[in-house]
Amino acid sequence: MSMTMTPGDEAGAYISGIDLNHVSPSDVESIKAALGNYGVAFFRDQSITSDNHIAFAMHFGDININRFFTPLADYPQIAQVLKEPEHDRNIGENWHTDHSYDQIPALGSILVARELPDSGGDTLFINMFAAYDALSTDLKSKLQGLTATHSSRHVFGAKAWEDEGGSDKTGRLKNSDAATQDAIHPLVIKHPFSGKPALYVNPEFTVKINELGEAEGEALLNEIYTHAQQPQFMHRFEWQAGSVAFWDNRATWHKALNDYAGQRRLMHRITVQGVALHG
């Protein structure tokens, strides 16, 4: 098979001519290049087994077993991202970057479609390379040297569940007592694969800018968030049977749309461990 890569209009690249059950070293390097330049690699018409899902992920690094997601039986490396017909809430419904609350954040996540609703359930991605590039020169200068604190406590912790008053995510998420992670990362990072600058804050897990007062830091974060959510940086991925998305958490935000009430959606996710981030 001959691999071809077609950049998306706003974020990501569509890769065809590859069977993810059998990847070569050159395939791996091409996918890394796609992640380092476009942020997401999209694949269609795959029939990847759970064993090969794991094997594919391990070409890119160690597997980071998620502490909060219920795993697939017999495959602790694979997290289930599930919404049953009776559930009101979905998982990942707010803009976020996976594992930014870890000291060594994740490289990326590989999501495989297993069961899809008749319609809906797409995922939106934002290209944080493009969002950074479009900032004014003055704002780019202001962001240099700033760091932000990221946390899991307010999303996955016990108090978060108490504040929700008994969420129907119970049973799909677990280990609220493990939500003790706080991490500090630069606001602007150099991507480990390409060296390209990217914004590295997100609305779900970033809690403050460390070098600024609370009000000034919150205003700056809100300015970044408003800027990043412009349509020219955003791509909507329509899931189909056999679809796989491999997004780089150092270069993207994503959110799962909750527009398929009364239907089941099951995805299998593996998260790949990354490296320390530098500005």
Q: Which residues are catalytic?
A: 96, 98, 254, 269
Residues facing 188 on adjacent strands: 199
Residues 6 or more apart whose CB falls under 8 angstroms from that of 24 comprise none
Integer angstrom CA distances of residue 125 from 90, 215, 279: 17, 28, 23
Is beta strand 13-16 parallel, antiparallel or unpaired with respect to 40-43? Answer: parallel
Is the alpha carbon torsion for 216, 141, 192, 245 positive or negative? positive
The residue assigned the tokens 């997601």 is 69
Backbone angles phi, psi at 161, to 5 degrees: -70, -40
CA torsion 64-69-71-76 (nearest 10°) is 20
Q: How far apart are CA 193 and CA 36, in angstroms?
A: 5
